[in-house]
Structure 1
Amino acid sequence: MDITRTPSGPDAPLPWLGRPTSEDTDRGVFRKSRLVAAWGEAQVESLVRAGVLRRVRHGWYADATAHPAVERAVRLGGQLSCLSALRVHGVWAMGTALHIARRRQPREVRQGLVVHPVHTLAWATALAPVREALAQVVRHHDPETALMSCESAVNLGMIGAEEVQTMLARAQQWKQPILQRFDPLAEAGSETRLRLFFRGRGAPVRAQVQLTPLIRSDLLVGCSWVIEADSRQHHGSPADRMRDLERDLTLIRLGYSVTRLSYDQIFHTWDETQQVLSGIVRTRQHRRPPKPVDMVGELPLFPASRPG
């Protein structure tokens, strides 16, 4: 795109500014030096007067596409970082607090704000890149939270598994027993939490196991216990619900036991959920091979399980 062309109205986004990587680490909030380098100071001031750009704080401007969390972080004197940055990038991340990196803590404690002090403000962008945000999570948070985000980022193809393993190996020693359980196959934080739970209780568990040509489980515990972690995004509609029930019935016919857990059960009532799962683990029934249910005729193929 020709960076000499400028937007014509306050709702028009700014043209590309020669970002060094494919990650969008601006999200509509720009350091003034980059804008001046692209257009010159007079043109930047003209865009401010026209309402295309607005001042966020000294040396920083935003346009109509500015991400609210990124703009707020800059307004507070920092860069959106850690878990908050990962959420903006689309990586699975725990919590809802606003995480920012800045030189020192603010004078007043703000509810819902987490500040990670840094020695210098050397960044050129308002949003921490994925790699830096992951490193911050590994450094500042518990190992379970770190694994949730690291495994999600790998699954999304935003970082390689080997690079993540190197990052995890450099973390504090007390975190290593959990971090060494890194599994690049996990697709979401809910799967990570459940996998860590079962491994912590000595139950063999594997992620993303292809049980039939058409059915892949989130987790397979032992030989025959299928665990499905239902997200709000992909299991909320009536059609999704029907597909899940048909899928479960097929697995039961094949001799598997199926436990389907909601997002709330995994994160909001986790203590109660752990008690129930622990009781089932103690029965050791998951160690028995699946025994198909006797029935006359072929296994029915439900509409939701058919190819295409």
Structure 2
Amino acid sequence: MKISVPATSANLGPGFDSLGLAIAMKNQVIIRPSKFHSVSLKGEGANNPALKDNNMFISIFNDFYHNLAVKKRHYRFEFYNEIPLSRGLGSSSAVIVSAIASAYAIEGIKLEKSKLLNLALAYENHPDNITPAVMGGFNVATVQENEVKFINKSIPNILRAVVVIPNRPISTQLSRKSLPFKYSKEDAVFNISHSSLLTAAFMSEDWRMLRTASLDKVHQKYRMKQMPELFDVQKTSLRSGSLMSTLSGSGSTLFSICFSEDAKKIEKALKTKFPHFKVFTCDFDNSGVRIEI
């Protein structure tokens, strides 16, 4: 059985903890019957032996598998990771979603995506990453009475993502601590209006509206101060033709959207100016979690 889950970019500027989308960079897990439990890891995190011994996927998988399985079996888990760790691209959400989906699939139990999403909420209480990981595409999500309420929209192939991954992380925990305890009414209204406009732009496919709609006063500038060169990355991306450019999740990745024909030019400009960062163009993912048996 093979399970794949896409990377995600959350917040998208003003949509703090509520907006997110999926990009075509995946973590895959292949699960095979085995005489004894074993784990192999390739790709991102492969050089960290602690990830084998303290594997979040195995822990969450076992939480469900031991309750679902009539007869316990041993398996070999082969991880192929494309999503970098601690870079704001939803690596934790990918692990959570794939682990839960695997436990059900391996027992032949059908699991609706909406139920998977709500089960994942117990491990990740912000829906902006887990929703696109499950559903793919662009998502507006909130939590009401321990249930994720969301609207999903596919992203057309006329758009591309340009991703800039710095050579060091920003701690999510420290990143949240950097945010103000209080916001002015003006800043709150600014973000509500821009988040609403950004949602409307995606739903109506008014891509020229993205630059204005993606402005934020709640979190980005506070987080980006931990890595000031990100301000220059953002300016370079926008000057080179991006439709929008925002911090991905809590960082340190800077995520941009552009028209397909502009992607290579933007990528080249960013690579030239920031040679010590990883820069690449990526498609969007409209499928979300996928299971092949």
Output the TM-score relative to the length of structure 1.
Answer: 0.25
Higher strand fraction (1 or 2): 2
Q: Which has the higher contact order (CA 8 A, sep 6+)?
A: 2
Output the TM-score relative to the length of structure 2.
Answer: 0.26
